[in-house]
Amino acid sequence: MSNIYIDEIDLTHLEWTRTRHSSGTAGSFLKAYEKTKGKKTYYKLSNYDVVNGIVGHECVNEIVACRLLTAMGIKHLEYDLINARIMIRGKAYHTYLCRSYDFKEAGDSKIALDAYYDMMHEDDETPMAFCERNGWSEYIYNLLTVDYLIMNRDRHGANIEILKNRIKHNYYPAPLFDHGLSLLCSCRNDDEYREINPLEEKKVQCFVGTNNTLANLELIPREKRLRLPDFDKDLEASLFQGLEGIMSDAWIESVWNFLVVRAKQYEDLFN
């Protein structure tokens, strides 16, 4: 399970770089990294606005998504949620942020799927067909399933990575990562959380599919669909453990309802 660190950690030494939302919405994600004993540690913030500061909760979304992926048995990058003091442009902020570690193994190098596709695809071959030809069907079907459940808006071609191992001379997909722009990411207060319609499809980016997460489920053969875990009290407790006090009760209740309703629609579609 993803760890949550409540006691504040001083990370004011980090230097943050700006990355625009690939979806084109207002705001920025800021990222940083540091090396410890030759190993990279990565940090990322929720949505940052130069006027209002850190206004999003995408880092908390990342934790819920990670825990759901664990329950679904899907390999993914693990994130920690850290209470930290940071500096941006000389101004101090107290916020929760995500920390992760380099997932590459010895001999690995990585390339974004869209770049690898550009170099290696056959004439008129779609990204989905390209992945199927390379033996990555199960990986893509799992990706489409979880992105439907959480309505991940941002699965562009660089948010899927391919690893090359120079020792084994093989290519394989990296663990799934970057799920923050999902769930109730467009909402900012309890009233908006409660008003969200879980079945309202929003336009998303998906390099291997369409811009609609429900339509993307239809790309999965019925016999290849992923069996979901039971959306029961045990799963609910595991998803939100430690988030009480970080996010409101209304947010927790609304996110759980969001997932339950979409899981039921998933089961109805295949049954």
pTM equals 0.93
pLDDT at 259 over 60: yes
Which has the closest alpha carbon to 152: 73, 114, 205, 208? Answer: 205
In this structure, the number of other CB atoms found within 10 A of the CB of residue 194 comes to: 13
Per-residue pLDDT of 210-247, as tens digits, reads 999 999 999 999 999 999 999 999 999 999 999 999 99
Tokens of 56: 């999003």
State the pLDDT at residue 25: 39
Percentage of the chain modeled with pLDDT above 90: 83
Helix axes 137-150, 58-72, angle to 10 degrees: 130
Nearest to 184 by CA among 234, 249, 95, 252: 252
Q: Which residue ranges make up each domain of the chain?
A: 4-101
Tell which residue, 79, 80, 235, 83, has the closest CA to residue 149.
235
pLDDT digits (tens, 9 = 90+) for 64-89: 999 999 999 999 999 999 999 999 99
What span, in angstroms and rounded, lies between the C-alpha atoms of 13 and 88? 10
Neighbours of 116 (CB within 10 A): 19
